[in-house]
A and B are shown apart, each in its own frame.
Chain A
Amino acid sequence: MPEHIVSRGIYLRTCILLLALTLLTWRVALVDLGRWNVILALTIAFSKGTLVTLFFMHARYSPRRTQLVVVAGIFWLGIMILLTMSDYLTRLPLAS
């Protein structure tokens, strides 16, 4: 696969989108949404991380095996957090 050169316009638009999402995450945090605050904050952070990975880090234009490594990394992190939390949340009495 020959080297893919991402245009400067795409980099610039990615950057503007990331700054807009930063503003959004701050605005949303100022509103009391109960437990949805943390869910929204993480959703926005995950979207921003995805944008950086796809465009700044060229994952969108990388060979399949590189993309597989990226997805595997996130998947393993998911296993670690999900399984540990399923244990903590069901065994320990939560401090109220």
Chain B
Amino acid sequence: MSEGHSALAEQFRDLEQQREASSLGMWVFLVTEIMFFGGLFLAYTVARTTHPAAFAQASRHLDVTLGSANTAVLIVSSLTMALAVHASQVGRRRALIAFLILTIALGCTFLGIKAIEYADKFHHHLVPGSGFSFSGPEARPAELFFSLYFAMTGLHALHMVIGVGVVVVLLLRARRCRYTVQYHTPVELSGLYWHFVDIIWIFLFPLLYLIDIHH
């Protein structure tokens, strides 16, 4: 893998076969990620069916406005990432760089809003542990809800941090003209990862923020 057409590794017939193999490998990795998050979603399902009232009560302590805003931020970041992939496919380097920068900015916005929410939970003693305080008879199950809230959104935020790091690397390499119409697989695979993290949040948002908010 030095330069130009030697982006082709010797075990592949052509760049196309290499691209398909890479994409398949990325999807297999994402399937393992589904199972990784799946365990947490399962724990959530068991806990919520066991303590529905406590989960509804605890969920009302989350900020629906910030949660909705973050959902919109992530969806738009997925659009900019998809447009970055498009730009790399048609060889528009300036557009690629611009969309990567936008994606990084939106990713950081998401993490910033998340940090504000976390700080608020610390402030109101809603972080599980010795400092946890919750009024009402179901304080223990409510603590379980917040344990799951921090575990799930925390793992998701960790993925976001990694995602932003990956896109920063793409940006640096795009500036050095490393991607061409023939070879831009890293942009495409990073896009798959970014969209996957978006999908996780699409499920986290209604499950954590929107439990019985009509009361």
Contact = CB atoms under 8 A, between A and B. Distances in A.
Interface of A: 1-3, 5-6, 8, 11-12, 14-15, 18-19, 22, 25-26, 29-32, 37-38, 41-42, 44-45, 48-49, 52-53, 55-57, 62-63, 65-66, 69-70, 72-74, 76-77, 80-81, 84-85, 88-89, 92, 94-95
Interface string B166-196: 0000000000000000000000000110011
Given A11-B83, A56-B195, A3 B214 contact: no
A67 to B, nearest CB: 9
A interface majority secondary structure: helix
9 nearest A-B residue pairs (beta carbon): A73-B31, A41-B206, A29-B210, A15-B79, A32-B214, A11-B82, A56-B195, A49-B199, A77-B38
Nearest to A31: B214
A15 B207 contact: no
B134 to A, nearest CB: 17
Contacts of B38: 77, 80-81
23 contacts: A3-B89, A6-B86, A18-B78, A22-B68, A22-B75, A25-B206, A29-B206, A29-B214, A32-B214, A41-B206, A41-B207, A45-B205, A52-B198, A52-B199, A55-B82, A57-B196, A66-B27, A70-B27, A77-B38, A77-B41, A80-B42, A94-B49, A95-B51
Nearest to B193: A57
Interface in B63-102: 64, 68, 71-72, 75-76, 78-79, 81-83, 86, 89-90
B80 to A, nearest CB: 9
A45 B75 CA distance: 13
Contacts of B213: 29-30
A76 to B, nearest CB: 7
A12 B83 CA distance: 9
A2 to B, nearest CB: 7
A43 to B, nearest CB: 10
Nearest to B50: A95
B78 A22 contact: no
Contacts of B195: 52-53, 56-57
A88 B49 contact: yes
B20 A73 contact: no
Given A29-B206, A85-B49, A65 B24 contact: yes
